[in-house]
Structure 1
Amino acid sequence: MKKIILILGIVVTALSSCSNYIEEESLSNVPADATYKTASGYQLLINTNYAWLKKIYGGNPWLFCSGTDMYAEGRTPEPAGLSQYTLLIPSSSNVEELYSSCYQEIQSVNKAVYYAGLTEQTTSLNAQVGESKFLRANAYFLLVQTYGGVPIVLDNITTPALSFTRNTAEEVYTQIISDLDAALASVGTTAYATAGRVNKRAVNDLLAKVYLTRGYETFGKSDDFSKAAAYADAAIAGQALNVAFDQLFKPGNDLNVETIFSVQYDKASTSTDPTKLGNNQFYYFSSYLGGAETGAPLRSYNLCPTGYALGLYEKGDKRWEATFMTEILEGPETTNGVTKTILYYPYYRSSNPSSLKVRHFYEPKWFTPADKTTWLAANASRLSSTFVYHPWGEYSAEHTLIKNLDCYTIPVKKFDDPDPTTPSSTGAVSTRDIILSRLGETYLVAAEAYLKAGVPTTGLDRLNEVRRRAGVANATLAQFNIDYILDERGRELLGEYHRWFDLKRTGTLVARASAYNYKIKQANFVGVDGKLKILRPIPQTALDLNQNKDFPQNPGY
């Protein structure tokens, strides 16, 4: 059976570990072609399509988040090209990962669409094809935002394809919308928390994002923003934001009623190879808290929140405490008869958290000297003998230039996995889901779409629903503009995989990254031809292996 396909010059050597068994011959030696023609075999093919999401999103998040206004380098170096732009070239590390994994997803979907005409006809077949087309549209949407126009490949490739031409970004958007229209007509309506599969709400949500993003392009249609608003409202479907913010990302609650679409993980399915089959999301956006000797979760010291990101929150905003671990606790834990004091995890594991000591406290922006005095007095009995009080302005990413120690940047707790599949000594692995779309973001998509469509009062209503849940005062019409929306998205979505796309979409990448990221100057974006490096480069591996040498590189490279 052929397992090797060449997609845009990138060799796909095998499917991901989570779905290898789907591609291998079955125990009864039935070839794949025969397997996919049965209902059960075709379902395995659909499962493979979902499994590819783990390859796209489960690794490091550089292409989603680095080089922005929200996150900057701490102690540990980030990929210099993607995070700072000056050294960004087609062969830069991590540039190729998204390109390759998205085309692996696309080829998997193409196979499912092909076999849909050959497999056993069932009542669920149309929905399965619709789900697959949603996943293909999502992959192309990631590609077109990141690299611009890319080849549109819709055939089930079974022999090496060595030459591809580049479609325009406009053509890619047309294909994305075509796939999503087909998906909307055929997928089911069962709640995502129940079925865990693409439904009409997820399709409406992605259509809203696609139309919103295309609306900013030079080839955007005059009704793109109004369509984006309508699709966002269809995804919202009148549902208010009633889940408390601190419950949205509570471990074990990933499939809550506001989750629209996610990459799902399960301990049982990852137990055979946990260091590869889990994800890395909890590893980033935080300080390094120490390794196995402290019992703390293994953390990187990069993608740390910038001073700008931390300063977005005002007094009373419930998202501050729910997003950041504002106190690092210490407590005793006994393993194999040995008791030692560990950091961080006791917050989740202790049966008596009020008895735990505070090792670190991060003062919020709004604290006055009197607030500090009051807090220290009120918590005197809770303070560890090695307690450290971190004043405002002394725990952001840029502060690592002054003091570069463990716990000297504030940890992000939204993605914490209190029960990872492996100990911290073996690597950063989590089996929590990666939430890609949720209702709070959809409200903000609607807010932006209505603003751009010329209906700001309705857009403001959508944004203020997000602020209502956060416990802060409504924004006013005078405040309501793109910069305010980006600030609100920063507060609501910190650490979620949207920020680079938000800045690129709204045309604010250069201005905001250079204003708020201490590693980036405006000149960093100027490419070899004088053009700005807004798009990421087409990977050099794809260009080298493509026999069509007229395949153009992006401006700036």
Structure 2
Amino acid sequence: MKTIAYLKYRIFAAAAFVASLLFTAGCSGDLLTEHPETQLTADQVYSTEEGFELGLNGLYSLARQEREGYGYTDSFGATGLYALMNIGGTDNYNCGAGASGEFSAIYKNWATANVPTDKSLKAAFSWLYKTVLAANTIIGRVGNPDIAWSSEETPLRVEAEARLIRAWAYRHLTYLWGKVPLSLVETTGENFRTDWVREEVSVVRAQIIEDLKFAADHMGWMPSQVGRATKGVALTYLAEMYLAEAGTGSGPFDEELLRLAWEAANKCITEGPYRLIRERMDNSQGCAFMDMFSPSNVNIESGNTEALWVMQWEKNVVGGGNNLMRFSLRPKFDTADKLASGITISYEDESRGGRGFARAAITKWALELYDKSSDYAAGIIDDRGSEYAIAKYYVLTDKDTFSGVNAYTGEPWKIGDRVFIGASKDADAGNPEVSTLYGFAGLKSGEKEGDNSNWPYTLKYSFCDSGYPKNNESHNDQVYMRLAETYLLRAEAAYKRGLAGDAANDINELRTRAHALTVSESDVTLDLILEERSRELLGEEQRRYTLRRTLDAPAFVEWITARNGKDAGLSERDYLFPIPQSVIDANVSRPMEQNPGFTGSGSGSN
């Protein structure tokens, strides 16, 4: 672990240096263009192999920002989270239960807040193009014949990693905005542009696929440095992109693209060194499924064989950054009488993972999916929906404040009692028979669904910094992509090729690991695959992208509104976000069209 920490220190310090000097897009003018005054610095940095490694560190630091804070308030510091652009406002996470600001505000009222002047949309668009520009600089300079490389393979691997991140950025952009400008060369003062054209999605994705194929050919199965992506990431994204281009809904599908999608996922699963975590990784209370999310187990170098990409953070290190996943995806639970009369749960018990702010909450529909894959009467509980994966209760400690009587037992509340989360009334707060412990059907619904102080939440990110349970940020490393997603992509490709039996086998690999009910060939449908992705990847998956990839606009709206009862006003125009007005205004030499249904009016999210 000391070796990992030292490597991370070097990586973060280098990332901070390179990112701050090289990869800054102009705040005024064209968001697709770098400041030309950084050109000399780029010449200096990209003159040695070590310089290119520093450049890659800076590039990865930009990718990590998806889970870091970007927006600020006067009293709380960073509170915005780019990850909510693809997690929130979907079928399995709503933002309508008291959350405010940034992307959460858009989902609470799509009709008035999803507008071209929204600050979060502008920030995300700019951040992704900064990432593209950073990648282009590396890709464009790696062929310099004056560089003394340590081996013939090194420049190919460096280019492959840069092209992977460029593909990663354009993947985000096409799912969020559809047609976008395609920039593939380093931007300098000589090629400054104000006449960008939004390329067709098929054109941009053809480039994504080309970049991912190059990455898959030249990246290693294991990360070149701690925290970097792997060949498995390239193959998994490649499978997804082939599926995205093969067709949506019930088809018709492009059979060749489906075959390529299956082959990419299959290569990752069968030829790579990755394996599902099926056995316990430590002796703590829990289950194998959740062990890989523990800070002590999360890294590939620590034995996490399922991880394809683990993002790194480090406290009190230049460039170490921090993440806000726990802060955004768990409730702010230290509120009197929210769980039961007379009870206040304290943040001070660090075993609870620290402070949350409820920027998003799991939908009741998503929680009840675990009831379908369990048989409580038979003692079969899907590990992914168990008390080890979803917070269902708090155990009272001497740090909590409590008084009165447990209405279920008739006895005064005492240390060691379990107080169940999301109970519909005081009598249920201590009653496991009608609580979330044995299923989620008894959860509150309607206006109380997703209560920002009293609602179940994922434990995948429930880790605070030791000694700082009230801080927004955390510095624990996190799995960003894992092999389970590759299995689900292979299952989808198999099903769409008419191989429902093979799809069932892949789904059952995950269900067996989770001790859940298995499925048969006849059970497999696209709906089942979408449900299984939610069960397995809750809080991890970029869910908006999955639904965009598999459903057309009418079905997208119908699917979400039938399952998300809190977020209001979703319509077919919201299948895409609006192009930020600042981008359209900066493109002064050529008119840039807006996505259908949007104007420049409205309040936005900030």
**Which TM bucket (shorter chain)?**
0.7 to 0.9
User: 1:436 deviation in Å?
Assistant: 2.5
Tell me the CA shift for residue 446 of structure 1.
Answer: 0.8
Q: Aligned residue for 1:127? A: 157
Distance change >3 Å, CA 328–CA 390, structure 1 → 2: farther
- Further displaced range: 483-492 or 198-207: 198-207
Contact 2:246–2:253 (8 Å) recurs in 1: yes
> C-alpha deviations, 1:99-152, integer Å up to 9, x for none?
211111111111111221223333222111111111111111111111112111
CA 1:4–1:254: 2 relative to 1, 3 Å: closer
Match of 2:393 among 315, 327, 342: 327
Q: What is residue 176 of structure 2 aligned with on the other side? A: 146
- Give the equivalent residue in structure 2 for 1:348: none
Find out whether 1:81 has 2:106 as its counterpart: yes
Structure 2 CA distance, aligned partners of 1:462 and 1:391?
25
Q: Is 1:241 matched up with 2:288? A: no
Over residues 504-550 of structure 1, what are the superposed CA-to-partner deviations in whole Å (9 max), with x where a residue is unaligned?
A: 111142112110111346x6305xxxxx3211111111111112442
- The answer to whether residue 167 in structure 2 is matched with residue 167 in structure 1 is no
Q: Quick one: distance in 2 between partners of 1:424 and 1:193?
A: 33
Q: Which AA in structure 2 matches 1:295?
A: E
Confirm or deny: 8 A CA contact 1:362 1:391 kept in the other structure.
Answer: no
Residues paired across the two proteins, number: 498
Q: Which residue of 2 aligns with 1:550?
A: 591
2:363 matched residue in structure 1: 306
Match for residue 536 of structure 1 among 574, 577, 589: 577
CA deviations on 1:255-276 (whole Å, 9 max, x unpaired) are 2110112322233xx54577xx
TM-score using structure 2 length:
0.74
Matched, 1:178 2:210: yes
The residue that corresponds to 1:357 in the other structure is 416
- The question of whether the paired residues in 2 share the 8 Å contact of 1:71 and 1:397 is answered with no
Amino acid at match of 1:327: Y
CA contact (8 A) 1:284 1:300 kept: yes
The alpha carbon displacement at 1:221 in A equals 4.1
The answer to whether the 8 A contact 2:91-2:561 is kept is yes
- Quick one: distance in 1 between partners of 2:125 and 2:150? 34
> Is residue 308–residue 483 contact of structure 2 (8 Å, CA) maintained in 1?
yes
Q: Give 1:321-470 correspondences, 5 Å limit.
A: 321=386, 322-332=388-398, 340-341=399-400, 357-362=416-421, 372=431, 392=440, 395=443, 398-400=446-448, 406=453, 408-419=454-465, 423-425=468-470, 427-470=471-514
2:264 aligned with 1:264, yes or no? no
Contact 2:246/2:255 (CA < 8 Å) preserved in 1? Answer: yes
Amino acid at match of 2:212: L
Q: Which amino acid in 2 is paired with 1:462?
A: D
* Partner-residue secondary structure (3-state), 1:536: coil
1:358–1:125 Cα change, 3 Å:
farther
Partner of 2:481: helix, strand, or coil?
Answer: strand
TM-fit CA distance, 1:301: 2.4
1:398–1:518 contact (8 Å) kept in structure 2: yes
Whether the 8 Å CA contact 1:74–1:398 is kept in 2: the answer is no
Tell me which amino acid in the other structure corresponds to 1:288: K
The DSSP-based 3-state class of the residue aligned with 2:310 is strand
The answer to whether residue 519 in structure 2 is matched with residue 475 in structure 1 is yes
- Which of 108, 119, 128 is equivalent to 2:134? 108
Report percent identity of matched pairs. 24
Q: Distance in 1 between matches of 2:226 and 2:48?
A: 22
Give the whole-Å Cα distance in 2 for the aligned partners of 1:393 and 1:193.
Answer: 46
SS at match of 1:435: strand
For the 8 Å contact 1:281–1:415, the answer to whether it is kept is: yes
Please tell me whether the aligned partners of residues 393 and 399 of structure 1 are also in contact (alpha carbons under 8 angstroms). Answer: no
> Which whole-Å deviations, capped at 9, do the CAs of 1:260-307 have from their partners, x for residues lacking one?
12322233xx54577xx2011111222212299742622112311111
Moved more, 143-152 or 547-556: 547-556
Structure 1 counterpart of 2:143, from 117, 120, 129: 117
In the alignment, the residues of structure 1 paired with residue 305 and residue 423 of structure 2 have an alpha-carbon distance, to the nearest angstrom, of 31
Aligned to 1:69: 91
1: CA distance, partners of 2:522 / 2:218: 42
SS in 1 for 2:124: helix
Query: Paired residue for 1:337?
Result: none
User: 1:342 Cα deviation (Å)?
Assistant: 8.3
Task: Report the CA distance shift for 1:405/1:207 in structure 2 as closer, same or farther (over 3 A).
Answer: closer
Specify the code of the residue in structure 2 equivalent to 1:80: A
Answering whether residue 336 of structure 2 is matched by residue 295 of structure 1, we say: no
Counterpart-to-counterpart distance in 1, 2:434 and 2:111: 44
Distance verdict in 2 for CA 1:109–1:396, change over 3 Å: farther
CA distance in 2, matches of 1:69, 1:31: 46
Instruction: Point out where structure 2 has 5 or more consecutive residues left out of the alignment.
Output: 1-20, 70-80, 279-287, 336-344, 375-380, 403-413, 599-606
SS of corresponding position for 2:188: coil
* SS, match of residue 437 in structure 1: strand
Distance in 2 (CA, whole Å) between partners of 1:455 and 1:56 is: 35
For structure 1, which segment, 30-39 or 301-310, has the greater mean C-alpha deviation from structure 2 after superposition? 30-39
Contact persistence 1:113–1:129 (CA under 8 A): yes
Which residue of 194, 214, 218 maps to 2:245?
214
Rounded Cα–Cα distance in structure 2 between residues aligned with 1:302 and 1:397: 18
Structure 1 residue 374: deviation in Å? Answer: 6.8
Change (3 A) 1:472 1:392: closer
Distance, in Å, in 1 between the alignment partners of 2:129 and 2:44 is 25
CA distance in 1, matches of 2:133, 2:252: 27
Does the 8 A contact of 1:4 with 1:11 survive in 2?
no
CA offset digits 1:230-279 (Å, max 9, x no partner): 11111112665333202121222222110112322233xx54577xx201
Contact 1:305 1:397 in 2 (8 A): no
Q: Assess, with a 3 A threshold, how the Cα gap between structure 1 residues 51 and 389 changes in structure 2: closer, same or farther.
A: closer
Residue 33 (structure 1) shift: 1.0
TM-score (norm 1): 0.80
Measured in 2, the distance between the counterparts of 1:443 and 1:130 equals 24
State the Cα RMSD in Å: 3.5
Work out whether residues 71 and 285 of structure 1, in 8 Å CA contact, stay in contact via their aligned partners in 2. Answer: no
CA contact 1:56–1:101 (8 Å) conserved in 2: no
Post-superposition shift, 1:199?
Answer: 2.7
Distance, in Å, in 2 between the alignment partners of 1:11 and 1:185 is: 29
Q: 1:73-121 CA distances to partner (integer Å, 9 max, x unpaired)?
A: 2223363334542122212342223321111111111111122122333
Deviations 1:379-402 (A, max 9, x none): xxxxxxxxx99995565674526x
Amino acid of the structure 1 residue aligned with 2:263: A
Q: 2:558 aligns with which of 496, 511, 516?
A: 511
Q: Does structure 2 retain, via aligned residues, the 8 Å contact 1:85–1:533?
A: yes
1:91 is aligned, of 109, 113, 117, to: 117
Closer/same/farther in 2, CA of residues 63 and 215 from structure 1, 3 Å limit: same
| Separation in 1, partners of 2:169, 2:437 | 45
Equivalent pair of 1:84/1:519 in contact (CA under 8 Å)? no
**1:318 deviation in Å?**
0.9
SS at match of 2:309: strand
Distance 1:12 1:265 in 2: 28
Match of 1:223 in 2: 256
* Counterpart-to-counterpart distance in 2, 1:161 and 1:505: 31
